[in-house]
Structure 1
Amino acid sequence: MSRLVLIDGSSYLFRAFHALPPLTAPDGTPTGALYGIVNMLRATLKENPDYTAFVLDASGPTFRDELYPQYKANRPPMPEDLRAQVEPMKEIVQALGFPLLCVPGVEADDVIGTLALQAHAAGIPVTISTSDKDFAQLVRPGITLTNTMTGSVLDDAGVMEKFGVRPDQVIDLLALMGDTVDNVPGVDKCGPKTAAKWLGEYGTLDAVIASADKIGGKIGENLRAALGRLPLNQQLVTIKTDVALDQAPSDLTLRPRDVDALRELYTRCGFGSALRELDGGSAPPARGARPVAPAAVADEAPDAALSAPGEYECVLDAAALQAWVARLQAAELVAFDTETDSLDPMRANLVGLSFCVEPGQACYIPVGHDYPGAPAQLDRAAVLEALRPVLEDAAKPKLGQHGKYDLHVLRRHGVDVRGYAEDTMLESFVFNAGGQRHDMDTLAQKYLGYTTIKYEQVAGKGAKQILFSQVAIDDATKYAAEDADVTLRLHRVLSAKLAAEPTLQAVYRDIEMPLVPVLTRMEATGVLIDVAELRRQSADLSQRMMAAQQRAHELAGRAFNLDSPKQLGQLLFEELKLPALVKTPTGAPSTNEEALEAIADQHELPRLVLEYRGLAKLRNTYTDKLPDMVNPDTGRVHTSYHQAGAATGRLSSNDPNLQNIPIRTEDGRRIRTAFIAPEGRRIVACDYSQIELRIMAHLSGDPGLVRAFEGGLDVHRATASEVFDVPLEKVSGDQRRAAKAINFGLMYGMSAFGLAKQLGIGRGDAQDYIALYFGKYPGVRDYMERVRQQAREQGYVETVFGRRLQLNEIHSRNQAQRAGAERAAINAPMQGTAADIIKRAMVSVQDWLDGQGGRATMMMQVHDELVFEVDAGFVDTLVDEVRRRMVAAAELRVALVVDVGSGSNWEEAH
């Protein structure tokens, strides 16, 4: 179906000017706003709209100035740095082929509104690309808003969620609130929540006016004082939809690009990536060339202003606090950070907060510095109450760097932050997952050329490090305010980079950011542990370790330290003369797990040492440690999930790591019995069945593999039947085991040598197995070759949902590094897609759980498994809904399958 995209050029021009860094062209002319506009237009072109227009305000007065002479009277003149970018912007817009519309006497809003309703009447879906809230009044089925700078999309439900009113009530909402930018005075002290409340109760502005006498308090007095101007407000904020225009929506087609004009304009502005795209930079490279993945291309170097020091204020009195609250309320985006006395967000006490709404200007509000001589500070509770309307306003976007920690801290102090919309750590991670660290210090140096104040510089290090509550407030202000400031600066750069890569932006906007509150909820929920059971298991493990140690001493004929690699190596390789089949990097005989497994069939001692180490690991990592990690306030263990860890997008868990508890051993499964449900509740585990193999079937499209899944067969048995040419019912256990090793091994790029080692067969036999496999599943072989070639050409591979994994070693001269990159190229799309799928499922499931009154909570994510704590009488309902949402998280060639179990503990639920 045809689609019309209407771009609110005036809105984006001002937004880009204030949001993006003050970049300059090679000749020194300003280009920051222009850079944002160009990236937005390039992203729009990639969507291939059927009809489109770039709409600007015309110069001169409009009909609103006649209605109200003070309309926009308080707007300052356009900054000269912005004015200088207007004409180049128009030239680029037209050179790209976009129709450019400027209609005298009306605003761009009115032109867009008219075209939108004309297209809607003609049955053409409309997307309005804007950051202006006024356009919400136009939303209806077939007309949506999109903000390319944030990636957000508003439809009817989105308007209701953001503003608390229906789209047809937005005009009345704006009339009540007023608009300080346009100098339209609303009801004094009436913000969006109050206006939405009135409209929810009375329905329309006319009804609110008629009921003004019923509204009590100071706000009621303010409403009654404003009654005379509200009808005019309504006229001023209503977008005109009957402007006489020379063009109809169907006339707004893209013209061919003027490549020569664009090349000259991009060169003059210094827009490197736009030039590369124009000159075919995304085409496959010549033989021997080493491509750079588009997402990894560094655009223009940051302007010097980005590395300039900021101006920071320490807020120590109520007047300064209120002034900052007002700034936060007026800001489009609020960057914030917390300072605490602990790295554990579940136990940390708030020491201070920092905020920034404009690059280079930030504040620090100390509330917990308690060193001798510290100046008087505002009361923490009072500060949080003053900030609560901003922090808990879902319509007020917030920004952080690894903000999940800060959300925990504020929740623990009674503030439930809503509207957490941006995170620079996640922007960096999605933009280039494997190419760098994603901490603020590293990102500031890389993208801003800015050297941050390090924590050790203000708090010391090692044994002499002090708590942040002991840091002098002057030093704390510079450090903490800089955190918020640099976060906002980074967002300006990283958001522009993501905006130029729509698929990456979709991963960030649709998968990673919605997951933040889900993980926050899971971490805060925690899991109940049976401490007494773990103590019993520790005692048992200790006894078995002692028995293993005694047996080892008997075998050695003397006492030695099983935990000493040196003593063990001397015993095994010098005294017992066992072969040293595995060496350390220095050439010495190794005693690691691989080395001991290699000689375990030659003497009892290596196998005994492996058993001892396994028992010690379980005791030290889990049975001894978990009881000490129970939070005294909640009585539960709280892990921390990391989104920006594995380059494939898989979540990791630590403090404690709940994802590495062995499930294949009896002792590992026994540990899971200590993860329990409280009385009246049950543990439910929902696990994707063979998800990566199903993704392989989807990506390869191999008919045999697809057929096996569609038939509901045991896929390993079906593979064995195909590979070894025997009926399904006659497949032996060894044949199924070999087929399973091939199925999973190939996904991880396993060679014939690796398969031979795993199965304990000759390399030639293993090569024959692989040849037989590819003969029966040629689609898998073709997929593997295809993805290797794509990796060589692009320098990256993608998941089904567009997440990228950079492969920096794909053209390495080192054969081992190159082979490793090729193995990653094959595996990453499957493992990454599996990660994307379960993240999407988690967001969907939590959205449903939020409405279930606490009858079930999502507690853990372990690879392809979600674990819940559920009221006993609610288990069946939960299972049905969770299974449905997990299955619906992706549409593949073969259906997703979810295995479910329940019990009084985690092990019973398997």
Structure 2
Amino acid sequence: MPERYPLVLVDASGYLFRAYHALPKLTNSRGKATGALIGVLSMLRKLIDEERPEYIGVVFDASGPTFRDRLFEDYKANRPPMPEDLREQLGPLKEIIRAMGLPLLEVADVEADDVIGTLAKHAAADGVPTLISTGDKDMAQLVNDHITLVNTMSDTVLDPAGVKEKFGVAPEHIVDYLALMGDSIDNIPGVPKCGPKTAAKWIQQYGDLDGVMANADQIKGKIGESLRASLPRLPLSRELTSIKTDVALDFGPKDLTPDAADTETLRDWYERIESKRLLASLSETGADGEAAATKPQAEYALVLDEAALDAWLAKLEAAQLFAFDTETTDLDYMRARVVGVSFAVDTDGALEAAYVPLAHSYPGAPAQLEREQVLGRLKPILEDPTHAKVGQNLKYDISVCANYGIAVAGCAHDTMLESYVLDSTATRHDMDSLAKKYLDRDTVHFEDLAGKKGAGKGAKQLTFDQIPLEQAGHYAAEDADITLALHRELWPKIEAIPSIASVYQDIELPLVPVLSRMERGGVRIDADELRAQSADLAERAAALEERAYAEAGRKFNLGSPKQIGAIFFDELKLPVVAKTPKGAPSTSEAVLEQLAADGYELPRLIVEHRGLTKLRSTYTDKLPALINPDTGRVHTSYHQAVAATGRLSSSDPNLQNIPIRSEDGRRIRRAFVPEPGVRMLAADYSQIELRIMAHLSGDERLLAAFEAGQDIHRATAAEIHGLPPEEVSDEQRRSAKAINFGLIYGMSAFGLARQLGTERSVAQEYVDLYFARYPGVREFMDRIRAQARTDRYVETLFGRRLYLTNINHSNNQLRSAAERTAINAPMQGTAADIIKRAMIQVDHWLRTEQPPVRMIMQVHDELVLEVAEDAVNTAAERIKGIMQGAAELKVPLIVDTGVGDNWDEAH
């Protein structure tokens, strides 16, 4: 595909209908419908911004009948009339497009497709690369080396290979493909019961429609009868589905140059449809997509007196949305004290930002407003849900404000989460990275002001209260300014994709205050128990160290790859499992584990020693030091915008990685204890990813096994080995479990063989048997890989997207890894979405009914809660019901609950 397309042709009528049905039904204050209108204009702006075409045509269907109506009087007879609230948006849309300076095309007696097809073919004949923006599959017949399709609503692109991948036939056979299937919407007769797969199969087998018709007698069964009965109608169907590429036009592709925009007319229309985003676009770019001569930057103010504060409070009261940020003394939200607050507002398209310093205490610092007084005046606005706020990582600011008794409400947007749901892998989601990627702005970094931690002998990073106001004011106000500017850039992109907007508005944003409450509630730790465990781990690690010395024949540093390499390969002559990029024998963790699995004692001792020392440094030594002296509890930080698939992660401490399968890991969990009179309750989704696989694949045997409540691993083993479930051995069940979970993660037969400790041929036989018994799973995997190659992303059940940049990479290793991710991400991401939805609903129950229950942890597919002893049974049933109702699958969602005096007992 070319890097750019000089000619862009837009199927405007198609987008108008799609926007009407897919996007929210917006109205202005006078009750006039605007949703489809704004949706199409947003699509056009995005397309022009990305492509910057020399020539562009925005093509609508002309009113009145076309030549197809003369060919077939029932053509489109099933289509209902245009809804009135859509019809009233059509006129304004056309006027706005003309005011944008874009050539608007309507040609009588033909459809928009025919105009687009004719222009595209003329351009292709001249070697001009052409991009057709459409969501209509019929247009795929136009694709060739010079013509490409893009669906701007879903960001999918189709070149000739993409058409073949998506439809199973080449572009030149799309007309035959469509004729066989027919079209119920356009009332085009085809072959009844002939779907996409059958049509593609016939064309692949017989070459084209004529070949299919000539061989109709060879096709057996009911579908063959249906084909033969349809033969008289198929030539007409082919003619109706064929796009005309020879329409007599009095203009050509190179006549479609855009004119200068009529800014005043656009401003008038944007005010009438009440689109602040489109109004703002007039100051950001010209309607033709060219950058405006000057892009307004926010004015930064430093608020040091009551009059300036009054003026800014009035601006916040009047603003429909304002950016809000806190500057503090500490990254730990529990210890952080507010040093200042910053704001940004949009005033008639221009951004204004201000910093209110409250506690800068360096020598010579000027007088500042009193912190408690300012926060007291801000409290009503911050707590008012009708005053919409946007922030970057608002969860931190919510928690900091809570330290001052302010319950922030009205958190309408979070730019970190906007970036994350838009594309979790495109960039890091910190403000500096987002400003560079989306605004092309280089921001002032905190380290530029405060210095780097540990930079130089005796150097110490300054806290924000020690930063001079001349620097601090610009830095803090810029944070608010960038936040509001990022929102103006990111939100339209999210709005244009309804599924992503739903994930953002229904899952990620509502989860922010839930996580803040969980974090601030914390979890109680038995420090004495952990110290005793640390002493035991240290003693056992020392014993392993002595045994390693004896095995090696000398003392060495068990953490030194260089020393280990010399002993392994020079002295003990152990086999080289892998090499480093420079060609030296590797002593990586994977190599050590492989050598240990192969029976070599010294690698086994080192692996075991490292495991014990890691538990000490990460948990048994560290957790007691993290206990907050004010609360007596440990307060983790949950991160929404880290894991690409949507899963939460946590840090300080990382609760997600505490081992569950080892005895030492379970001992650590025993140190997580509730207060007297309170029990720990763990609620864990049972085999949720396998259940999601059953739902997505629709495999009948898998669905039946879950519906019957069978042990899925035993059921799988029974299917593979052809045995009754009661005759399945423990070893056969273990192998089946490895297959079930291995396939979810895209594991190859080679990887499975290593896990099972068997030959690759045996593992391959297991895989083949599995797919033979569960063909729906194989079909799902093939389908999702093909879809990922076309769309370059996969989606969860709720619409979260994971983009796969390497899915079509020429490097087999990178491509294979992307294909494995394509299979796993919809399941892992859907599981993440489900537990997030459950957390939101559990939190709602806790806040509305206020039972003696506290949600304290989320770990993978598990929620952990503290429950008053006399409320355990009632709470367990209620929580189980909420979690099991968090999604509707084709199989039951099952939640296992446990209760104990510590986390291990509850789990």
Q: Give the alignment's TM-score, normalised by structure 1.
A: 0.71
- What is residue 326 of structure 1 aligned with on the other side? 314
- What is residue 480 of structure 1 aligned with on the other side? 476
Q: How far apart are residue 373 of structure 1 and its match?
A: 0.9
Identify if the C-alpha distance between structure 1 residues 261 and 734 changes in structure 2 by more than 3 Å, giving closer, same or farther.
closer
8 Å contact from structure 1 (residues 23, 303) kept in 2: no
- What is residue 885 of structure 2 aligned with on the other side? 888
Aligned mates of 1:715, 1:441 — CA distance in 2: 47
- Pick from 402, 420, 423: which aligns with 2:411? 420
Between 1:419-428 and 1:433-442, the stretch displaced more is 433-442
- Pick from 827, 831, 841: which aligns with 2:828? 831
Aligned mates of 2:801, 2:447 — CA distance in 1: 35
- Pairing 1:348-359 to 2, within 5 Å after superposition: 348-358=336-346, 359=350
- One-letter amino acid of the counterpart of residue 433, structure 1: S
- What is residue 337 of structure 1 aligned with on the other side? 325
- One-letter amino acid of the counterpart of residue 549, structure 2: H
Aligned mates of 1:375, 1:262 — CA distance in 2: 69
Q: How far apart are residue 320 of structure 1 and its match?
A: 1.0
Aligned mates of 2:158, 2:47 — CA distance in 1: 29
Aligned mates of 1:365, 1:852 — CA distance in 2: 39
- Pick from 513, 523, 542: which aligns with 1:546? 542
Query: Deviation string for 1:376-425 (max 9, x for gaps)?
Result: 00000000011111100012111001111111111112211011110011
- One-letter amino acid of the counterpart of residue 572, structure 1: F
Aligned mates of 1:412, 1:857 — CA distance in 2: 19
8 Å contact from structure 1 (residues 307, 450) kept in 2: no
Q: How far apart are residue 781 of structure 1 and its match?
A: 0.5
Query: Deviation string for 1:48-107 (max 9, x for gaps)?
Result: 995524769x9xxxxxxxxxxxxxxxxxxxxxxx9998684799999999xxxxxxxxxx
- What is residue 150 of structure 2 aligned with on the other side? 281
Identify if the C-alpha distance between structure 1 residues 683 and 647 changes in structure 2 by more than 3 Å, giving closer, same or farther.
same
- What is residue 206 of structure 1 aligned with on the other side? none
Q: Which secondary structure state, in structure 2, belongs to the residue aligned with residue 675 of structure 1?
A: coil
- What is residue 516 of structure 2 aligned with on the other side? 520
Q: Which secondary structure state, in structure 2, belongs to the residue aligned with residue 716 of structure 1?
A: helix
- What is residue 334 of structure 2 aligned with on the other side? 346
8 Å contact from structure 2 (residues 94, 104) kept in 1: no
Q: Which secondary structure state, in structure 2, belongs to the residue aligned with residue 682 of structure 1?
A: strand
- Pairing 1:148-163 to 2, within 5 Å after superposition: none
Aligned mates of 2:44, 2:790 — CA distance in 1: 35
- Pick from 644, 648, 665: which aligns with 1:647? 644
- One-letter amino acid of the counterpart of residue 508, structure 1: Y
Aligned mates of 1:350, 1:468 — CA distance in 2: 10
Q: Which runs of 5+ in 1 are unaligned?
A: 28-37, 39-47, 59-81, 98-254, 265-271, 294-298
Identify if the C-alpha distance between structure 1 residues 303 and 487 changes in structure 2 by more than 3 Å, giving closer, same or farther.
farther
Q: Which secondary structure state, in structure 2, belongs to the residue aligned with residue 519 of structure 1?
A: helix
Identify if the C-alpha distance between structure 1 residues 20 and 261 changes in structure 2 by more than 3 Å, giving closer, same or farther.
closer
Query: Deviation string for 1:581-619 (max 9, x for gaps)?
Result: 122222222222321222224432211111111110100
Q: Which secondary structure state, in structure 2, belongs to the residue aligned with residue 281 of structure 1?
A: strand
- One-letter amino acid of the counterpart of residue 324, structure 1: W
Aligned mates of 1:401, 1:826 — CA distance in 2: 32
Provide the aligned length of Structure 1 versus Structure 2. Answer: 698
Q: How far apart are residue 289 of structure 1 and its match?
A: 5.9
- Pick from 24, 27, 48: which aligns with 1:7? 27
Q: How far apart are residue 5 of structure 1 and its match?
A: 4.8
- Pick from 708, 720, 723: which aligns with 1:723? 720
Aligned mates of 2:845, 2:82 — CA distance in 1: 34
Residue 752 of structure 2 corresponds to residue 755 of structure 1: yes
- Pick from 807, 810, 821: which aligns with 1:813? 810
Q: Which secondary structure state, in structure 2, belongs to the residue aligned with residue 433 of structure 1?
A: coil
Identify if the C-alpha distance between structure 1 residues 664 and 395 changes in structure 2 by more than 3 Å, giving closer, same or farther.
same
- What is residue 567 of structure 1 aligned with on the other side? 563
Identify if the C-alpha distance between structure 1 residues 697 and 261 changes in structure 2 by more than 3 Å, giving closer, same or farther.
closer
Identify if the C-alpha distance between structure 1 residues 389 and 743 changes in structure 2 by more than 3 Å, giving closer, same or farther.
same
- Pick from 355, 364, 385: which aligns with 2:355? 364
- One-letter amino acid of the counterpart of residue 52, structure 1: D
Aligned mates of 1:301, 1:391 — CA distance in 2: 37
Aligned mates of 1:413, 1:822 — CA distance in 2: 49
- What is residue 691 of structure 2 aligned with on the other side? 694
Residue 375 of structure 2 corresponds to residue 384 of structure 1: yes
Structural RMSD (CA): 3.7
- What is residue 847 of structure 1 aligned with on the other side? 844
8 Å contact from structure 2 (residues 98, 104) kept in 1: no
Aligned mates of 1:694, 1:25 — CA distance in 2: 39
- One-letter amino acid of the counterpart of residue 429, structure 2: H
- Pairing 1:185-584 to 2, within 5 Å after superposition: 275=133, 280-282=149-151, 285-288=158-161, 303-304=291-292, 308-358=296-346, 359-461=350-452, 462=455, 463-584=459-580
- One-letter amino acid of the counterpart of residue 587, structure 2: T
- What is residue 586 of structure 1 aligned with on the other side? 582
- Pairing 1:762-773 to 2, within 5 Å after superposition: 762-773=759-770
- One-letter amino acid of the counterpart of residue 864, structure 1: D
8 Å contact from structure 1 (residues 6, 55) kept in 2: no
- One-letter amino acid of the counterpart of residue 363, structure 2: P
8 Å contact from structure 2 (residues 842, 879) kept in 1: yes
Identify if the C-alpha distance between structure 1 residues 815 and 6 changes in structure 2 by more than 3 Å, giving closer, same or farther.
closer
Aligned mates of 1:496, 1:273 — CA distance in 2: 22
Q: Which secondary structure state, in structure 1, belongs to the residue aligned with residue 675 of structure 2?
A: coil
- What is residue 214 of structure 1 aligned with on the other side? none
- What is residue 52 of structure 1 aligned with on the other side? 85
Q: Give the alignment's TM-score, normalised by structure 2.
A: 0.72
Query: Deviation string for 1:673-693 (max 9, x for gaps)?
Result: 000000111110000000000
Q: Which secondary structure state, in structure 2, belongs to the residue aligned with residue 676 of structure 1?
A: coil
Q: Which secondary structure state, in structure 1, belongs to the residue aligned with residue 856 of structure 2?
A: strand
Aligned mates of 2:816, 2:387 — CA distance in 1: 48
8 Å contact from structure 1 (residues 901, 909) kept in 2: yes
Q: Which secondary structure state, in structure 2, belongs to the residue aligned with residue 850 of structure 1?
A: helix
Query: Deviation string for 1:748-782 (max 9, x for gaps)?
Result: 11111101111111111111111101110000001
8 Å contact from structure 1 (residues 21, 489) kept in 2: no
Aligned mates of 2:314, 2:87 — CA distance in 1: 34
Q: How far apart are residue 567 of structure 1 and its match?
A: 1.7
Aligned mates of 1:20, 1:722 — CA distance in 2: 52
Aligned mates of 1:84, 1:384 — CA distance in 2: 49
Identify if the C-alpha distance between structure 1 residues 638 and 694 changes in structure 2 by more than 3 Å, giving closer, same or farther.
same
Q: How far apart are residue 893 of structure 1 and its match?
A: 0.6
Q: How far apart are residue 6 of structure 1 and its match?
A: 6.5
Aligned mates of 1:321, 1:696 — CA distance in 2: 56
- What is residue 909 of structure 1 aligned with on the other side? 906
Q: Which runs of 5+ in 2 are unaligned?
A: 1-19, 50-59, 61-80, 120-129, 140-148, 167-284
Identify if the C-alpha distance between structure 1 residues 874 and 259 changes in structure 2 by more than 3 Å, giving closer, same or farther.
farther
- What is residue 658 of structure 1 aligned with on the other side? 655
Aligned mates of 2:629, 2:397 — CA distance in 1: 20
8 Å contact from structure 1 (residues 6, 53) kept in 2: no
Aligned mates of 1:551, 1:290 — CA distance in 2: 63
- What is residue 772 of structure 2 aligned with on the other side? 775
8 Å contact from structure 1 (residues 54, 93) kept in 2: no
8 Å contact from structure 2 (residues 521, 856) kept in 1: yes
Q: Which secondary structure state, in structure 1, belongs to the residue aligned with residue 378 of structure 2?
A: helix
